[in-house]
Structure 1
Amino acid sequence: MTEQINQSEILFERAKKVLPGGISRNTIFKLPHPDYVEKGEGCIVTDINGKEYIDFANNMASLIHGHAHPVITRAIIEQVSKGTAFTMASEVEIEFAELLCSRVPGFEKIRFVNSGTEAVMAMIKSARAFTGKAKIAKVEGAYHGAYDYAEVSQTANPNNWGDEDKPNSVPVAVGTPEKALDDVIVIPYNNTKKALEILNQHQGEIAAVLLDPVSHRVGMVAAEDEFVEALYKWTREQQALLLFDEVITFRVGFGGAQQRYKVSPDLTAMGKMIGGGFPVGAFAGRSDVMSVLDPLQPKVLLPHSGTFSANPVTMVAGLTAMKLFDHKAIEKINLLALKTKVLISHSIEKVGIKACVTGEGAMLRVHFKSQAPTNYRQSFLNEDEAKALKIVLTHANEQGIMLINTCSMMLSTVMTINEIEKLVQVLEQGFELVAKQLPSFKRYR
């Protein structure tokens, strides 16, 4: 019998000749080669070798309705036939802005950009323009995209993160300017007392505090009410702004993750799933803050543009997707995620492994720890935990379950209990492999 040719291996050899490392984004890289896609439909992705996967990654949380949703696809095709991008505004960007602003009381004005990174970057720059101050504060370990100031500390580790009472501003990229590091104040997540102590050392200097309310990198646990309210109060007292990064978390509820809190951020960045499968970003908030962008003002404090910002294809796709993501759809997907969380927890108990599951809304993450972490340092993987993670991810991939590489899951509205049961079955098998290969992870010995 002739051995089947691995098309992914062939493509990777081609890719390495023209792409650094053979890829265009490091999140998909793995050895011996990345997987290459052929097509996606609903919650099923088929790779170039014909293998099918149930997709719990959904392009790093950017797809809320799965792949090639027929309603979204029809709307896109209709718009593409009219043109894709123009040196003109479009009516659909107004309609989409109206829809998003209607969902969140704090969204008085909104501006569209092309990625979550760009949204966070423009939001930070808006805060600086509005306050006239340069420094920002952010949570240790939180991911906010690939902007010098936003990415500080996102890859901090025990060798460089410093004292918990005063975390270091750790660069991601070699060559990051020292001035950028000096202008980013790092605070611990969900530790109100220590966060305020650090912030108070920089009174009068900070333009904004940046917060992801359910940070994936920090552990996919919600920011505590006390923590959020304290940051809000501090920014009021200091004439600073509170910024929310909801690029991932806007899927948590009808009005994003912020709807659970008593206080509202001054500005919010969005992206990923609001684009309906196309590159997108947006930031929204108070009219007076957003006026720094306004060309009708006597002086524009933050000149801002983007060639493909609010292009009609993205606007049509996003508008259609968000109309479909209504109260009924949100209730259904969040209930399915809650069921998933319970079933995974049962599997963990059944196998007797040291693990737990966290998450909010339709976002879940498995940690190879006995107790759920509440901050970045607690969620950081030691050497054995990293081995356990690799075992489970490798097994899941072999069994046709696509996960984010932190063992995180992002559900889509097209999923049913059938896909969930398959996920739980495969994860349980992975837990059993961990218990067998790494006996120290057995909870009961």
Structure 2
Amino acid sequence: MDAKLQTELSRSAALFERAKAVMPGGCSRNTILRKPHPIYAQRGQGCYIYDVEGVRRIDFANNVASLIHGHAYPAMIAAVSDQLRRGTAFTVGTEAEIEFAEHMCGRNPAFERIRFVNSGTEAVMACLKAARAFTGRPKIAKVEGAYHGLYDYAEVSQTAKPENWGQPEQPSSVAVSRGTPQGVLDDVVVIPFNDVERALAILEHHREELACVLMDLLPHRIGVIPAAEDFVRALRRWTEENGALLVFDEVITFRSKVGGAQQWYDVQPDITALGKMIGGGFPVGGIAGRAEVMEVMNPLDGPAPFPLYGTFSANPVTMTAGHAVMKTYDQEVVERLNALGDRARNLITEAIRIADVPACVTGRGSIFRIHLAEYAPENYRQAYLSPDKAAILAKFVGHLFDGGLVVVETGTGFLSTAMSELDIDTMAAAVLESLRKIKPLM
């Protein structure tokens, strides 16, 4: 970069110029991008991020829900620092993996066995492959618009648009990535969210081919609206009656209860995909579930129907960090954080009333999402934003950022235990100011 240009730019702008010279788009994950350039973190402490310009912001993104105790959690730092001195990864086992597996299985009776991987995407992928191995069937069903990571089969339909999403009675399997094989699309059955009658009709048409039904109980891309009790029960009943498995993606929602959002319901899945917060700030994924199903990964009595390897899976640094964080996220702490979530949603609702704009807030537990629409969406098609509405939302999120808040680009916030009522009140005030700024555009 030209030396004169570099001196004229902010530190973040200058870093972005360097990044664009060595990475496509100037980054390794699109999450960090914002206009006119990303902001780069210098450090994090508790619920605050300090950027390289010296600006402090309250972090309601928490690396997209992966930091349940906020940044630089002392218990995690102490435990990991000790482990780092003893080694980071081995081709032999460590007790840290066993201890963490015992802890995680103790949080939920549905977790009879568990295996660890390195990301939520990998966890979902493993769940789907396990379901195929267990049932001997090729197809999976998933909810329209739901995000489940980068695996070809799991990502189908997550970016569907009005011109290609098909009829509500028969949603189309729409590719996300260019070059996705037609065979992948043919093996993914798409069902509408919270529509029991239509979903069951679609599933019934494929009943002899489906390995599993995959769902998120509080899907982010669909609007952070809870799965209806009758919808969850209907899918559980249908899978049991038709020899398919029920798979819950709790990569984000595991924070909701001690044993995950599934404990809001009187339903247990066959397998659960885990990730994000259970790594204590390090890359992680987990596959937990019924012992009979998990046996497809067991190689002790011959070749496993689903061989599962991974160079860094269950490395002792992640296992140590995850255990340090999760064992301090107990019932009392969960309830306190969820109460803060209630406070956040109530204060956002009040801010919307005062600003007198057509907006609303959704969510449950320690998650919220702000919608710039008078009524909350009921499914992906209602949550879908036209380019004009998406531009207004981007301005709103930009105003929040300038006002000292970091939220996810969709207007979604994930609370951390490092937050206080004062932080929630500060957030609500910033929301009110930002709503007032975009009111002329709505």
> Shorter-chain TM-score: what band?
over 0.9
Tell me, yes or no, if structure 1 residue 11 matches structure 2 residue 42. Answer: no
Match of 2:209 among 200, 205, 208: 205
Tell me, yes or no, if structure 1 residue 333 matches structure 2 residue 333. Answer: no
User: SS at the partner of 2:274?
Assistant: strand
Change (3 A) 1:261 1:143: same
Partner Cα separation in structure 2 for residue 288 and residue 383 of structure 1? 47
Equivalence for 1:152: 156
Equivalence for 1:141: 145
Equivalence for 1:396: 400
Q: How high is the TM-score relative to the length of structure 2? A: 0.97
Q: How high is the TM-score relative to the length of structure 1? A: 0.97
Match of 1:405 among 391, 402, 409: 409
5 Å matches for 1:173-322?
Answer: 173-322=177-326
- Partner amino acid for 2:360? C
Task: Give the drift of 1:433.
Answer: 1.3
List per-residue Cα deviations over 1:215-236 (Å, max 9, x = no partner): 0011101111100111111111
Partner Cα separation in structure 1 for residue 373 and residue 202 of structure 2? 29
User: SS at the partner of 1:9?
Assistant: helix
User: Which residues of structure 2 form unaligned runs of 5+?
Assistant: 1-6
User: SS at the partner of 1:222?
Assistant: coil
Q: Which moved more, 1:63-72 or 1:377-386?
A: 377-386
User: SS at the partner of 2:86?
Assistant: coil
Equivalence for 2:64: 60
Equivalence for 1:117: 121
Task: Give the drift of 1:298.
Answer: 3.2
Moved over 3 A (4+): none
Match of 2:54 among 38, 50, 57: 50
Match of 1:22 among 18, 23, 26: 26
Q: Which moved more, 1:126-135 or 1:346-355?
A: 346-355
Task: Give the drift of 1:5.
Answer: 4.7
- Partner amino acid for 2:66? S
User: Which residues of structure 1 form unaligned runs of 5+?
Assistant: none
Equivalence for 1:102: 106
User: SS at the partner of 2:334?
Assistant: helix
List per-residue Cα deviations over 1:82-123 (Å, max 9, x = no partner): 000001111111111111111111110000000000000011
Task: Give the drift of 1:7.
Answer: 0.5
Equivalence for 1:76: 80
Equivalence for 2:39: 35
- Partner amino acid for 1:310? A
Match of 1:324 among 319, 325, 328: 328
User: SS at the partner of 1:144?
Assistant: coil
- Partner amino acid for 1:28? I
User: Is the CA contact (8 Å cut-off) linking 1:153 and 1:170 kept in structure 2?
Assistant: yes
Task: Give the drift of 1:386.
Answer: 1.7
Task: Give the drift of 1:373.
Answer: 1.1
Partner Cα separation in structure 2 for residue 190 and residue 297 of structure 1? 42
Partner Cα separation in structure 2 for residue 312 and residue 190 of structure 1? 40
Task: Give the drift of 1:383.
Answer: 3.7
* Aligned length in residues: 436
Tell me, yes or no, if structure 1 residue 344 matches structure 2 residue 362. Answer: no
Q: Give identity over the alignment, percent.
A: 53
Partner Cα separation in structure 1 for residue 285 and residue 123 of structure 2? 5
- Partner amino acid for 2:156? V
Equivalence for 1:379: 383
Tell me, yes or no, if structure 1 residue 425 matches structure 2 residue 433. Answer: no
Equivalence for 2:4: none
Partner Cα separation in structure 1 for residue 163 and residue 49 of structure 2? 39
The RMSD of aligned alpha carbons is: 1.0
User: Is the CA contact (8 Å cut-off) linking 1:391 and 1:433 kept in structure 2?
Assistant: no
User: SS at the partner of 1:88?
Assistant: coil
Equivalence for 1:169: 173
Partner Cα separation in structure 2 for residue 299 and residue 78 of structure 1? 37
User: Is the CA contact (8 Å cut-off) linking 1:291 and 1:297 kept in structure 2?
Assistant: no
List per-residue Cα deviations over 1:125-173 (Å, max 9, x = no partner): 0000000000000000000000000000001111111111100100000
Task: Give the drift of 1:4.
Answer: 7.6
Partner Cα separation in structure 2 for residue 105 and residue 424 of structure 1? 38
- Partner amino acid for 1:182? D
Partner Cα separation in structure 2 for residue 291 and residue 211 of structure 1? 22
List per-residue Cα deviations over 1:165-213 (Å, max 9, x = no partner): 1001000000000000000000000000000011111120000000001
Partner Cα separation in structure 1 for residue 8 and residue 152 of structure 2? 45
List per-residue Cα deviations over 1:261-320 (Å, max 9, x = no partner): 111100000000000000000011011110010011334101111000000000000001
Q: Which moved more, 1:395-404 or 1:145-154?
A: 395-404
